[in-house]
């Protein structure tokens, strides 16, 4: 009985807040996916509160998979996102035992809350200040926030060896390497409806699911595929969410070798399209371990990735890589000569060793309880 009582006391005592995301349930990005699985695996062992944006989320449910959802009436995007992150950060540090901060926007409030430093666990994700979508001024602001976050956080998480090296070399601080899980992706065979809807499922095709922004090398990929007829390219993304996306879709949408599909939030439909592709194309360049890449690895897909350095770390150099349009075109033209099955098997082996959510959640639990 004493052992049971002790565990109940521990559960009541440890209250974790997760800050810096748009919200859950997830239909947006990698940090939201991470939050969902941390909630799923850790809420039976501790209380969790997740801060959400009522401006960005369609739902206003109060709990999700055992976690409490707390809403702020601000958007998590753009410059107002810094205010959103800062308010959530300040509230959570004053109220909860530990705070997991995901992202880059809350650094400016921390000098005023430095006495609460021991509560903070930080995961920056990638190097957001490098993204070309930001103006030069915004990049400087983001990098300053990054510096403050790293200075005032007790624990640092790097999701990629390249990010861990960057933190050590730039700031002289060590970090714990924890990536993302990919085992939410499921191999699904196409049904009759899918085959009728998506004609490309009946033959070889390349596939990518991505946010439509310049630093993901969208134009480079579409230029390479539209310049050959060996294999079509299917790209799923949020084309309508930005001026860049709208202009890019308008430019390429009538190319015969390209299928540009709007974002698909039905995971079963996405898995059908993704898990039956011949090649998975990954163009992310801004750093960190990308969730869509580890999902592709878990499915055993052959991957051709942009040579960012970070992607090589994620795939342990078992994929193929390109630096520019010409190199990608060469790989596309030679794909039938490649041992794609062997590549997919090697990447799947890595994913089963590193990129499982039960492993990721256990690593976070160790940090939280330390």
List, as one string, the DSSP characters of 6-64: HHHHHHHH-EEEEESSS-SS-SS-HHHHHHHHHHHHHTTTSEEEEEEETTT-S---SEE
Q: By the 8 A CB rule, do 218 and 133 touch? A: no
- Cβ neighbours around 136 below 10 Å, total: 6
Give which of 72, 80, 71, 17 is closest to 43, Cα–Cα.
Answer: 17
pLDDT digits (tens, 9 = 90+) for 29-77: 789 999 999 999 999 999 999 999 998 888 789 999 999 999 999 888 8
- Supply the pLDDT for residue 27: 67
Give the residue from 318, 246, 332, 322 showing the smallest Cα distance to 283: 322
* Stronger pLDDT, 146 or 277, i.e. the higher one: 277
Sheet with strand 233-237: strands edge to edge? 258-262, 233-237, 206-210, 279-282, 303-306, 320-322
Convert the pLDDT of each residue in 248-279 to its tens digit: 999 999 999 999 999 998 889 999 999 999 99
347, pLDDT greater than 80:
yes
pLDDT at 5 over 60: no
Please tell me whether residue 161 adopts helix, strand or coil conformation: helix
> In this structure, what token pair is assigned to residue 198?
């998506």
Answer yes or no: is pLDDT of 129 > 70: no
Q: CA-to-CA distance for 174 and 301, rounded, in angstroms?
A: 33
pLDDT score of 9? 39
- In this predicted structure, the answer to whether residue 1 has a pLDDT above a threshold of 50 is no
**Of 324, 312, 316, nearest in space to 349 by CA:** 316
**Domains along the sequence of the chain with CATH:** 2-181+356-369 (3.40.50.2000), 192-354 (3.40.50.2000)
d(CA 210, CA 212): 6
Q: Which residue has the higher pLDDT, 288 or 21?
A: 21
pTM of the model: 0.89
pLDDT band at 217 (very low <50, low <70, confident <90, very high): very high
Cα R_g (the chain), whole angstroms: 21
What b/e sequence results for 10-49 when a residue is b if at least 16 CB atoms lie within 10 Å of its CB, and e otherwise?
A: eeeebbbbbbbbbbbbbbbbbbbbbbbbbbbbbbebbbbb
Task: Report the sign of the C-alpha dihedral through residues 42, 44, 46, 47, in that order.
Answer: positive
Consecutive H or E run containing 157 = strand 155-158
């Amino acid at each position: 009985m004493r052992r049971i009582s002790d565990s109940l006391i521990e559960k009541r005592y440890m209250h974790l807040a997760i800050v810096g995301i748009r919200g859950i349930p997830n239909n947006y990005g990698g940090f939201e996916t991470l939050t969902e699985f941390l909630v799923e695996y850790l809420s039976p062992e501790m209380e969790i509160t997740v801060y959400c944006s009522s401006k960005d989320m369609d739902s206003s449910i109060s709990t999700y998979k055992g976690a409490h959802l707390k809403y702020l009436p601000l958007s998590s995007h753009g410059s107002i996102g810094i205010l959103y992150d800062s308010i959530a950060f300040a509230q959570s540090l004053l109220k909860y035992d530990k705070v997991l901060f995901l992202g880059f926007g809350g650094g400016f409030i921390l000098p005023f809350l430095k006495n609460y430093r021991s509560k903070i666990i930080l995961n920056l994700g990638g190097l957001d200040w490098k993204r070309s979508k930001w103006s030069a001024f915004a990049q400087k602001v983001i990098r300053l926030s990054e510096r403050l976050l790293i200075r005032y956080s007790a624990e640092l998480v790097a999701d990629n060896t390249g990010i861990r090296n960057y933190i050590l070399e730039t700031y002289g601080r060590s970090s714990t390497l924890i990536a993302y899980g990919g085992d939410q992706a499921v191999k699904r065979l196409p049904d009759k409806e899918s085959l009728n809807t998506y004609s490309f499922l009946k033959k070889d095709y390349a596939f990518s699911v991505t946010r439509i922004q310049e630093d993901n090398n969208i134009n480079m990929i579409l230029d390479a595929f539209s310049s050959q007829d060996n294999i079509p390219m299917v790209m799923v993304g949020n084309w309508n969410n930005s001026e860049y996306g709208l202009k890019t879709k308008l430019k390429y949408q009538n190319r015969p070798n390209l299928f540009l599909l709007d974002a698909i939030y039905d995971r079963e439909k996405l898995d059908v399209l993704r898990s039956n592709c011949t090649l998975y194309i990954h163009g992310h360049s801004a750093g960190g371990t990308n969730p869509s890449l580890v999902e592709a690895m878990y499915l055993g897909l052959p991957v051709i990735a942009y040579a960012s350095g970070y992607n090589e770390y994620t795939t342990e150099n078992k994929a193929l890589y390109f630096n520019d349009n010409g190199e990608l075109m060469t790989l596309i033209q030679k794909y039938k000569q490649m041992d794609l099955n062997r590549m997919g098997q090697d990447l799947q082996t890595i994913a089963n060793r590193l990129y499982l959510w039960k492993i990721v959640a256990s690593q976070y639990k160790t940090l939280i309880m330390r």
